[in-house]
Amino acid sequence: MKIAFPHMGTLTTSMKSVFTKLDQEFIVPPPISGKTVQLGVKHSPELVCLPFKITLGNMIEALELGADTVVTATSCGNCRLGFYWPAQEIILKELGYKFKMMAINYDNPLGFMAEFKKFGGGKSWLKVFNALLFGVKKQRVLESLEKEAMRIRPLERRRGDTDRILRSAFERVDLASTKKELAHSKEASLSEFQRIEKSPGREPLRVMIVGETYMIVEPNVNFNLMAKLGDLGIHAERSYWLGERILRALRLSPDGRRHHEMAKTYAYPYMRYPELCTGALSIGETIAAKKDGFDGVILVMPFTCMPEVLSQSLMMKVSAEHSIPVLTVILDEHSDDGALLTRLEAFRDLLETKKRRSCATRGYFLKEASNLTMNSLPLSD
């Protein structure tokens, strides 16, 4: 059995680690490119969302390299993700590929484990669990490095230093095969980040990224959105991290569950049944971002995304009522890198203007309050 799986950000590195621990042969599709997009678009229904097309392109490229089993994620939510794998299986078999499709439902922790046990070649539950746990730990390390890069990038004095260190850090984590090596790779990478020369006194804007998960996570599809924002002097943070999501599915993250429930609670005034729509999380996370002091929010979604279309329709009201600017970025195969950059620059200018006015207004009222206090003091005899 030669397993292949679509790319999804740093999850590719973690999946390689799990299958290596299980002694399972696998094929990693080529990095997402123009060819991947063309293959996916050519063989997909026109109005299906971009993640469907990109992952289908990944599958075709992997099957051409000799894969005979495709592993992909599925869910029971209201997103069309639950229909991806049967539709993609039909398309690929009509194209003449002979393979087996295996869908892993990450909403079901026990089923999650059982699906991975099929790749273990008779290995015990404990060994399968340890392989999976190591993959999750690797994913958490990768994402902790991403978070650090997103924090430091807007502060770096010489552009490109953060990206260079992040690439070498990812390679170091990819090679780690034990917990000790993984811990060492994290420590060494964080130490390198600390040595980056930074501009003193700079206070970057803070922007939260919410929306459709694949578009948030995969830099080759969102035009490397996090790096772009960092280069514009913005400290971007993501509402979605795969490692956290996996732990939450395995019931191993109480904080993650509390955050998830809190976002649904915030969304309730805008959606009567937020648990029925994943787009409700974008609403709740936008309100949470305002409470946490963020300067703005970017809603990123693929064209025709059903849950996020609902959140988009409510976002203007949420933005006005909570006084937080929201930029909606809708991407498909026709989207353009330059056009996105222009919109991000305009959004950055808007946030800076709003922040300057807010500081000026706050300063004016503080001065007036100070004068009032001084004038109200009783005169001494």
| Tens digit of each residue's pLDDT (9 = 90 or more) over 252-299 | 777 778 888 888 899 989 987 776 677 888 999 999 999 999 999 999
What is the DSSP-derived secondary structure letter of residue 236? E
d(CA 67, CA 62): 6
Is the predicted pLDDT of residue 145 greater than 80, yes or no?
Answer: yes
d(CA 42, CA 21): 36
Cα dihedral: 12, 16, 17, 19 (round 10): 130
How many CB atoms are closer than 10 A to CB 245? 17
Share of the chain above pLDDT 90, in %: 64
In which band, very low, low, confident or very high, does the pLDDT at 117 lie, cut at 50, 70 and 90? Answer: confident
Is the predicted pLDDT of residue 369 greater than 80, yes or no?
Answer: no
For 199-204, what is the mean pLDDT? 87
Asked whether 335 and 223 are in contact (CB, 8 A), the reply is yes
Mean pLDDT for the chain? 88
Confidence (pLDDT) at 377: 47
Contacts for 232 with CB less than 8 Å, ≥ 6 apart: 154, 344, 345, 348
Q: What is the pLDDT of residues 328-344, one digit of tens each?
A: 999 999 999 999 999 99
Asked whether 56 and 88 are in contact (CB, 8 A), the reply is yes
Name the more confident of 79 and 160: 160
Q: What is the pLDDT of residues 9-22, one digit of tens each?
A: 999 999 999 999 99
In which band, very low, low, confident or very high, does the pLDDT at 378 lie, cut at 50, 70 and 90? Answer: very low
Q: What is the pLDDT of residues 28-64, one digit of tens each?
A: 999 999 999 999 999 999 889 999 999 999 999 999 9
pTM: 0.89
Confidence (pLDDT) at 357: 83
Confidence (pLDDT) at 365: 56
Is the predicted pLDDT of residue 373 greater than 60, yes or no?
Answer: no
Is the predicted pLDDT of residue 318 greater than 80, yes or no?
Answer: yes
Is the predicted pLDDT of residue 142 greater than 60, yes or no?
Answer: yes
DSSP helix/strand/coil, 255 = helix
Asked whether 321 and 311 are in contact (CB, 8 A), the reply is no
Q: What is the pLDDT of residues 178-193, one digit of tens each?
A: 999 999 999 999 999 9
Confidence (pLDDT) at 258: 82
Ranges of H-type helices in the chain: 11-21, 34-43, 50-64, 81-94, 109-117, 125-152, 161-175, 179-194, 213-217, 225-231, 242-249, 254-267, 279-291, 306-322, 337-376
Confidence (pLDDT) at 380: 45
Confidence (pLDDT) at 381: 42
Confidence (pLDDT) at 246: 78
Q: How many CA atoms lie within 13 A of 75 on its CB side?
A: 12
d(CA 310, CA 319): 15
In which band, very low, low, confident or very high, does the pLDDT at 379 lie, cut at 50, 70 and 90? Answer: very low
For 316-324, what is the mean pLDDT? 94
Question: What is the Cα gyration radius of the chain?
Answer: 23
249 burial level (CB within 10 Å; 0-12, 13-18, 19+): middle
Confidence (pLDDT) at 279: 82
115-119, 268-272, 303-307, range with the lowest pLDDT: 115-119
304 burial level (CB within 10 Å; 0-12, 13-18, 19+): middle
Is the predicted pLDDT of residue 366 greater than 70, yes or no?
Answer: no
Confidence (pLDDT) at 119: 76
How many CB atoms are closer than 10 A to CB 353? 10
Confidence (pLDDT) at 254: 77
For 75-92, what is the mean pLDDT? 84
In which band, very low, low, confident or very high, does the pLDDT at 123 lie, cut at 50, 70 and 90? Answer: confident
Nearest residue to 44 (alpha-carbon basis) of 312, 307, 302, 340: 302
For 143-165, what is the mean pLDDT? 95
